[in-house]
Structures are given as structure tokens and as C-alpha cells.
Structure 1
Amino acid sequence: MMQDWAQTTLDQIYAKTKATVQRIGPSAIPYIAEDGHYQADMAKKDIIWWTNGFWGGTLWQLNHYRPDAALAAAAIANEVDLDQAFLKYQGLHHDVGFMWLPTAVAHYRLDGDDRAYWRGRHAADLLAGRYNPVGKYLRSWNRDRAGWVIIDSMINIQLLYWASAVTKDPRFKEIANNHADTVMQNHVRADGSVAHIVIFDPNTGAALRTDGGQGYEVGSSWSRGQAWALYGFALAYHHTHEARYLETAKRVAHYFLANIENTDYVPLVDFRAPQEPQTFDTSAGTTAACGLLEIAKSVSENERPLYQNAAEKMLHSISAKYGNFDTATDSILSGATTAYHDEKGQNTNLIYGDYYFIEGLLRLTGKDFLIW
């Protein structure tokens, strides 16, 4: 029953995405839909924006699901567009994983394209260059933030695992593991909740303080940060088979699951925010669902239903409440939130929320491929 629903929904999304590509053009990179349509082309507006890989990832996933020349051409055009981001080196940071894993690395994984390989390698080298050997972490942002590490980085380090595998160079994997261990020890709390930002002394490696970041406040639990951690540690386990990463992913997952039952499996923006106003983030839900399905692959048969069933409920509930499958409009899900205190970013559409929704559905049907 659930697989049939996922298949039907994917078919609707496939038709809608093809219509969107025809409408916005093959090389445009969308971000947020306004009034049902993508207004800004991030390839022209801000080529270094961190979400610029998710549209390419959507196109590659759907083309893998059902090959289509227009989808593949648009995915490659997006990959070529991102070459301009390499030239704006000063604007790139840890999010090179979000930008080039779903584009160049996905392309390489699918057909071994040589140019795509070197784009991925270039991005991986840039990420490895952000490593602080004293603190054993990858710095997240630029400017004066040499000691800042955000939980989102747990998805980006998957680029280093890929680079280590294709080059047979253990340095990339070692950096990724060291960073994951630092995050595990400093961002993930004993109860499974997660801090968005931890600030270290870049000279000594000592943790100085945490910051609320995109959540409600210091000490709160920003749900998309929970999702990045949940999925990121599950993926780290996939690439390393180190038990501590799976155990951490499960601990974060249990905290997440304990907080979504009372809101019909649609996560609040922050699990420790005041009860009013009640705001949600569908992008946190779709990301977490993919992480739960990854965990389900890695645990025993008797354990699997806890994670599998929760992921299915989350994807179905979000789709029923926030899905839009009209081919005359762009984007799929509303109900996303950029940050708790961002008044303009409430109940919106976010390209990565849509991407993870599609990846989750493909996982349910067994027709996904490894992006991360």
C-alpha cells in the first residue's frame, strides 16, 4: 500500500518536474518558489549559494528513476553552471558537499563522466583544505569564524568519504571521521538533541560555547539540525561501518521521533521553542525521513520497523498536508521554514525540502541511488 502511494506520487512529481524544466529552462537553478513559481535563477543571482546543488540532484534522481533526455541535459547544464562558483573561491565554504555531491559526483556515479569526476575532486580538495588539525574539525563558514562548526556539516563530509573511495587516499576519510567524532562529542547531547553551532578556539581546539543559530535559542533543538545530524551520522556509518556513528544516528532519531508524534509526524521548527506560535518545517521532516530509511537499512530485522514506519508516516503526512502536484506550478511542498526567527521564511517552499521528499519516495520504491 505505501509503496503504491509512493509510486503514484513519484509519477506526479516526475510530470511536474518535466513541466518545470520546460518552463524555467535547462540551465536555471531554482531555490524558493514564490506564488507557485520559481522567480529567481540562482545561476545568475548567486552562483555560490549553498543550495545550488539540490535541483541538479532532483534531476539526476528522477532521470535515474525514468531516463529522460531533457532531465539529463538540464542536470548537466546545472553542473556546468557551477563551474563559475569555483571561480568565486572566496564565497565557498563547507557547503561544497551540498553543491557538488548531488551534481558532479552524482553524474560521475551514474556514468563515470571524467569531467564530473574532476569537479567532484576539486570540491573535495576545497573541503579538506578547511580542516583544523588542532581541533579536528572542518570550519563551517568564512570571515572571522575560524572556530565555527555547524551541524549541517555532517552531510557535507560525505564528499570526503567519496573522495577517499575513488582515490584510495585515506586522508579524506580520516578528516571526515575526525570531524564526525568532534561533532558527536560536542554537538550531540546525551538525550539525542543537537546544538546547531559549536564555537571552538581555532588555536587550541577547545570548545568555547554553543549558539542557537537557526533555532529558537541556545540550548534549544532546531529540528532541521536534528535531521542533518540524524542523516549525516547514518551516512557516516554507511561509509565506514563504525558502530559509534550508527548509535549516534539512532540516539538523535529517537529524540526526533519522540517529538513528532504529537504533531501528526510533521516536525515543529524547534522542539524546545514556546508552544505558541506553532510553526513547522517540512524540510526537516523530509530530510529526517531519508535518515530514518538509511538507519532502517543498517539495523536488525526486528528493529527496522521503528525507523521504516516513522519515515513512511512522516512522508505521507507531509505530502497530504503540504503537497502540490499541479504541473502548472513550480515546487512541491510548502510548510518549510528557513529559520525560527526569520519572519519572511515561514511556511515557504525550499528546494532541499522537495529534494529529500523525492529521495525518500525513491527509497520507499527501491529506485533511488546513492547521492551522498
Structure 2
Amino acid sequence: MIQDWAKETLDKVYVKTLAELQRMSPSTVIPYMAENGRYIENMGDKDITWWTNGFWGGLLWQLHQYRSNKLLEETAIENEQLLDQAFLKYQGLHHDVGFMWLPTAVAHYRLDDDSQAYWRSRHAADLLAGRYNPNGKYLRSWNRDRAGWVIIDSMINIQLLYWASDVTKDPRYQQMADNHAHTVMQNHVRADGSVAHIVMFDPNTGEQLETLGGQGYGVGSSWSRGQAWAIYGFALAYTHTKKPEYLETAKGVAHYFLANIENTGYVPQVDFRGPASQGVDTSAGATAACGLLEIANQVSDFEKPLYQRAAEQMLVNISEKYGNLSQHTDGILTGATTAFHDENGQNVNLVYGDYYFVEGLLRLINHDMMIW
């Protein structure tokens, strides 16, 4: 049974993660990518505002709530505390405060009702709310001269605003998140279910100016991890609001995704409209699997098998072809790709790919915690 496979795999990941922590010195390392089987670079030292710096803490929290362990808990809290330096630095922060504090402070607050975690989460939510453009009805993604840039990854980050609206009973957070989601629906998601990575707006009027290829192959292409962000992001927005347009959008993007992975062994290529000779992105597959499982939780029993079975198949195939469960090496999945044109980011291990793989396994046995 798939649940037996998931639990067996998860148990190996659990043991592997504890072995990784024993090798890490000091324990306050925030990994991003395992190189030659080792976490060498510490993003806490290199760039504390780096967008992936919350996923390691999130992976630890997920495993801790699966099977309580003091080392997992303490290291996750240390990760959260380190991110206080990002608040102080400030200038490197942008819309990815959701990726940074949902898996760390919000997860901690959900599990332990910790007051410091609560206020860290609130601080991050207010920083995100401060990026709202009322004329364009969107949250700007990046800094510098990019006031009108919105990327599809933002659909995961807006979950921080839904959380803030829920805990404060202040509807403004949800209003901003909903306005942003509708702008993305209308401008990023195409009629066939494919998704543009970047849309540029006039920040004064909200008018769409152009789309950009971003981390995909090019303008008009279909970057697979962008598809995954959309699937999961809109599915989560539906979970928080029960607005049917969000679920329908998630399903439409999911159908496009599924149509494109059938011929590649349920492991997505980097870009569904890129050259046939391109590589794969396991991080896109793991993220999409979590989104598909979220859809499966929200649809009727007649629809559920389509999304459930596809997610199961993706997680199994990714694990069999690209998984490394050895206790003697760091990182779980290879086969991840940072961006189509990033020569140094091909067939690598990435912490967010590992995080979503673990979350997917936990979802298969109904033991995940609600981080998003």
C-alpha cells in the first residue's frame, strides 16, 4: 500500500535528518543545497535574507510533530531565532517573507502557541502587507526598480496574510491576499492552464505591461515549478477562503501539469514548453504533489482519485529515481533545478525540494501539520 511505502520512506528520512544534524557544526547552520553529499554553505552567514531560509526549519518541525524529538525542536527554534537578523537587515526582504516565516515562526506558533513565534509571524505578515499596491491590487514581489513585478511564487507567500487575518480577525489581510490572487488569476494563468512566471504591471495604474520568462525557458513558456506554485497556492487559497474560483484555477493548472508529466515518467521537466533535451526538476514535482493532495482533500469523492493517484505516482517515481536516503550523506533529492538557464543549478539538491517531499510523505499518511 502507498501508506506503507510512505511511512517506510519517512522513517528513513527521519533517521537521515538526525544524522545530518549530528554532522552539522554548529547546529545553527541553515542549509540551501547539499554539495557532494554535504551541507557546506551556511545561508545564515552568506545571506540571512535568502528566500529559502525557512524551509530547513519547516522540515524539522514537520518531522518533530511526526515523532517528537528534542534535537529537531531545538534546532528548528534556533533557525527561527536566526531569522531575527533578517528583520534587522530588512533591505534584503521582499515577498518571500511567507516562505521564510510560515515554516518557522508560524509553524512554531501552531504547535506550541509560543508568543515570540506569534509576534515574529505578525511582523512578517505586516512586512508583506506593506508591499500591497492598491491601484494594481497586487503585492509587489521584488525590490529595487521592480515596483510592478509580480511572480507566480507569490501565491504561496500570500498564505501568511490568510493566517494573519485568521488570528487577528482583521479582514484587511485577507482582502489584500484575495485581491492579489485575483490579479494573478487574470494575468498569470493562461486559458490552457499554463502559467507565466513574471508579469510586469504599471505600478500607477495596475495595467499589465508585459510578461517575462523568468526562471523558465523564455517568454510564453511554462516553467514547471511555477506551475507547481500555482497549483498549491490556489488550492491553499481555497482552503482558507472556500472561494470556488480558487479551486477551479488550481484544478485547471493541475490538469495542464498532469498532461505534461505522463510522458516523462511523472517527473516534470524544467519547462513544459522547453527543448526536449532539457533536464528535470524534482522540486517542482514534490511541490506539485503537495498541491494535488490539497486539491484531493477539497473535491468530491468522484474527483479525488485523479489528483491523489497522480501525487502518489510523482512522489514514488521521484524517490526511486532521485532519492538518497543514506544516513551518511546530506540532502534527500537530487534532480532539482534552480532555473532553466542557471548552469550551476542543474540536477542539484535543494532544501525546498526536500521539504515538500517530506510534507508530501506526511500527507500520504495523514500526519502533516498545516504550515501554509
TM-score with structure 2 setting the length? 0.99
Give the Cα–Cα distance (whole angstroms) in 1 for the partners of residues 148 and 173 of structure 2.
Answer: 20
Q: Which residue of 1 aligns with 2:334?
A: 334
Instruction: Count matched residues.
Output: 371
- In 1, the alpha carbon distance for the partners of 2:174 and 2:276 equals 42
- Secondary structure, aligned partner of 1:149: strand
8 A contact 1:26–1:73 mirrored in 2: no
Identity of aligned residues (%): 74
Is 1:215–1:340's contact at 8 Å kept on the other side of the alignment?
yes
- State the alpha-carbon separation in 2 of the partners of residues 18 and 149 from structure 1: 38
Q: Which residue of 2 aligns with 1:119?
A: 120
Alignment partner of 1:68 is 2:52: no
Structure 1 match to 2:325:
325
Hey, what's the Cα distance between the residues in 1 that align with 2:198 and 2:21?
A: 36
Deviation, 1:367, is 0.5
Alignment of 1:308-323 (within 5 A): 308-323=308-323
- The residue aligned with 2:175 is 174
**Deviations along 1:281-338, whole A, 9 cap, x unmatched?**
0000000000000000000001000000000000000000000011111000000000
SS in 2 for 1:208: strand
Give, in angstroms, the shift of residue 104 of structure 1: 0.2
Tell me how far apart the structure 2 counterparts of residues 45 and 141 of structure 1 sit (CA, whole Å). 19
State the distance in 2 between where 1:203 and 1:137 align: 12
What CA distance in whole angstroms lies between the structure 1 residues aligned with 2:91 and 2:44?
Answer: 17
Aligned to 2:305: 305
Distance in 2, Cα, partners of 1:275 & 1:23:
40
Aligned residues of 1:334 and 1:348 also touching (Cα < 8 A): yes
Q: How does 1:23-62 map to 2 (within 5 A)?
A: 23-24=23-24, 25-62=26-63
Once residues 67 and 102 of structure 2 are traced to their aligned partners in structure 1, the CA distance between those partners, rounded to angstroms, is 20
> Which residue identity lines up with residue 55 of structure 1 in the other structure?
W
- 1:293 matched to 2:293? The reply is yes
In the alignment, structure 1 segments of 5+ residues that lack a partner are none
Partner of 2:274: 273
Give the superposition deviation at 1:26: 2.4
CA distance in 2, matches of 1:83, 1:117: 13
Partners of 1:67 and 1:23 lie apart in 2 by: 20
Give secondary structure in 2 for the equivalent of 1:260.
helix
Aligned partners of 2:205 and 2:73: how far apart in 1? 47
Distance 2:32 2:276 in 1: 30
* Displacement after TM superposition at 1:8 (Å): 0.2
What is the aligned partner in structure 2 of residue 158 from structure 1? 159
Give the whole-Å Cα distance in 2 for the aligned partners of 1:318 and 1:217: 26
Q: Distance in 1 between matches of 2:218 and 2:78?
A: 40
Distance 1:127 1:62 in 2: 28
The alignment partner of 1:90 has SS state of coil
Instruction: Determine helix, strand or coil for the equivalent of 1:259.
Output: helix
Cα deviation, residue 241, structure 1: 0.2
Q: Following superposition of structure 1 onto structure 2, how do residues 341-352 of structure 1 map, counting pairs within 5 Å?
A: 341-352=341-352
Deviation at 1:45, TM superposition (A): 1.2
Paired AA for residue 100 in structure 2? M
Map of 1:249 onto structure 2: 250
Is contact 1:192–1:252 with CA below 8 Å preserved after alignment?
yes
Distance in 1 separating the partners of 2:319 and 2:22: 24
Q: Does structure 2 conserve the Cα–Cα contact (< 8 Å) formed by 1:42 and 1:52?
A: yes
Counterpart-to-counterpart distance in 1, 2:116 and 2:344: 39
Q: How far off its partner does 1:194 sit?
A: 0.0
Amino acid at match of 1:215: G
CA distance in 2: counterparts of 1:363 and 1:178, whole angstroms = 29
Match of 2:213 in 1: 212
C-alpha distance in structure 2 between counterparts of 1:274 and 1:41, whole Å: 34
**Aligned pairs for 1:137-148 within 5 A:** 137-148=138-149
CA contact (8 A) 1:296 1:307 kept: yes
Cα distance in 1 between the residues matched to 2:27 and 2:160: 26
- Residue in 2 that maps onto 1:233: 234
RMSD, aligned CA: 0.5
Separation of aligned partners in 2, 1:268 and 1:232 = 20
Aligned letter for 2:306? L
Q: Give the partner amino acid of 2:314.
A: M
**Which shows bigger deviation, 37-46 or 175-184?**
37-46
2:110 is aligned to: 109
Q: For 1:85 and 1:219, how far apart are their aligned partners in 2?
A: 34
In the other structure, the counterpart of 1:15 is: 15
Query: Runs (4+) of structure 1 moved beyond 2 Å?
Result: none
**Partners in 1 of 2:29 and 2:69 — Cα distance?**
18
What code does the residue aligned with 1:134 have?
Answer: N
